[in-house]
């Protein structure tokens, strides 16, 4: 009896598999460092549903969440080689590869999240998406990453002076290393997935991120002080491997691009809700939050970062156009 049951379920499973692969001629493999349910993961799943409907099931997307395919820097490389088709990452780890992404990773370059939306939804956003192509990626859409602030396990940061000598993890980009140096701290670039245990064991004192990442990563469990200095508003990006892209017909390419664009408003709604829920969870856990902080000295300290990184005419022009956008 047991054997019959096992055989029957094996048969059912193979029928299910066959149905899936018959329905989807091409299943695009998509990477995300965040867990299932996180706004970026859900937005790419939504994009996949739209694509499946609009191509009569020819194109599907499978999202590998929770860094199943690796940490961001490694997945960015694998995407270039077409091992991964789609990748949702912060634009930070792209800074050393695609020069134009540097301008949207600069501290305090955006006045607010609304300002970031206006810039990224307009011609500057399109120009930066285009800039990925010569490097082996097709930029499809920008997602939200809220604003990032400092957290640590040692003490509440109430001014720049409190950061002096602190070991703070940053994303792997020279801009963020220089940002921490300018603030008098010791920058430790490391992959996101290593941050929890690095704080726990004291390898670093803290890191920086938005509410949803601070919460979903569990970093708030080991870093009890969060200061809302909002030094970075870094958009996130969904890219496709140019190798995978070139295998698609022009119609399918257009469908991918449109589905990605249509996932943006969905992502933004999910983001607003998740920010609120994460904030509530972190506050309820007893994390000490420094709400009011004079940002002026933090902003003034960033002059050296701009001087070092905004050197070409192209980047200077982009920065001044971002600043001139209302």
- Interface with ligand GTR (CB under 6 A): 33, 72, 89-90, 92, 145, 171, 192, 209-210, 213, 236
Q: How far is the CB of 167 from ligand GTR (least distance, A)?
A: 16
Provide CB contacts within 8 A for 41, sequence distance 6+.
32, 34, 35, 63, 65, 88
Cα distance between residue 306 and residue 107, in whole Å = 9
Whether the Cβ atoms of residue 41 and residue 98 lie closer than 8 Å to each other? no
Q: Which is nearer to ligand GTR, 192 or 226 (CB)?
A: 192
Q: How far is the CB of 22 from ligand GTR (least distance, A)?
A: 34
Q: How far is the CB of 31 from ligand GTR (least distance, A)?
A: 10
Q: Which is nearer to ligand GTR, 66 or 325 (CB)?
A: 66
For residue 221, with 0-12 CB atoms within 10 Å meaning exposed, 13-18 middle and 19 or more buried, which class applies? middle
Q: How far is the CB of 90 from ligand GTR (least distance, A)?
A: 3
Q: How far is the CB of 316 from ligand GTR (least distance, A)?
A: 26
Q: How far is the CB of 254 from ligand GTR (least distance, A)?
A: 27
Tokens standing for residue 46: 């939504």
265-274 long-range contacts, CB within 8 A, separation 24+: 266/42, 266/43, 266/46, 267/39, 267/40, 267/42, 267/43, 267/46, 267/143, 267/144, 268/117, 268/144, 270/39, 270/42, 270/43, 271/39, 271/143, 271/144, 271/146, 271/212, 274/38, 274/39, 274/211, 274/212
Q: Which residue has its beta carbon closest to ligand GTR?
A: 90
Whether the Cβ atoms of residue 298 and residue 106 lie closer than 8 Å to each other? no
Tokens standing for residue 120: 């990224």
Q: How far is the CB of 222 from ligand GTR (least distance, A)?
A: 15
Give me the DSSP letters along 94-139: GTTTSGGGGGGGSTT-SSSHHHHHHHHHSHHHHHHHHTTGGGTEEE
């Amino acid at each position: 009896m047991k054997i019959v049951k096992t055989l029957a379920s094996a048969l059912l499973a193979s029928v299910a598999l066959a149905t899936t692969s018959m329905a989807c001629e091409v299943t695009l493999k998509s990477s995300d460092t965040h867990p299932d349910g996180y706004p970026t993961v859900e937005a790419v799943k939504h994009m996949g549903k739209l694509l499946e409907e609009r191509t009569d099931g020819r194109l599907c997307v499978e999202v590998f969440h929770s860094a199943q395919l690796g940490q961001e820097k490694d997945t960015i490389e694998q995407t270039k080689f077409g091992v991964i088709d789609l990748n949702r990452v912060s634009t930070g780890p792209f800074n050393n590869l695609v020069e134009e992404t540097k301008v949207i990773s600069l501290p305090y370059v955006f006045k607010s999240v609304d300002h970031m939306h206006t810039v990224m939804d307009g011609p500057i956003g399109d120009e930066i998406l285009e800039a990925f192509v010569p490097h082996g990626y097709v930029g499809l859409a920008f997602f939200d990453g809220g604003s990032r602030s400092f957290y640590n396990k040692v003490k509440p940061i109430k001014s720049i002076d409190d950061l002096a000598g602190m070991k703070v993890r940053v994303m792997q980009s020279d801009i963020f290393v220089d940002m921490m140096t300018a603030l008098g701290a010791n920058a430790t670039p490391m992959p996101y997935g290593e941050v929890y245990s690095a704080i726990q064991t004291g390898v670093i004192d803290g890191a920086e991120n938005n509410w949803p990442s601070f919460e979903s990563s569990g970093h708030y469990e080991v870093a009890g002080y969060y200061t809302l200095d909002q030094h970075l508003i870094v958009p996130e990006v969904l890219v496709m491997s140019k190798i995978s892209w070139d295998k698609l017909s022009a119609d399918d390419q257009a469908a991918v691009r449109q589905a990605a664009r249509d996932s943006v408003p969905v992502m933004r709604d999910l983001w607003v809700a998740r920010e609120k829920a994460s904030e509530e969870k972190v506050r309820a856990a007893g994390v000490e939050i420094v709400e009011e902080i004079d940002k002026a000295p933090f902003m003034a300290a960033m002059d050296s970062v701009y001087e070092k990184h905004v050197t070409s005419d192209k980047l200077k022009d982009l920065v001044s156009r971002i600043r001139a956008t209302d």
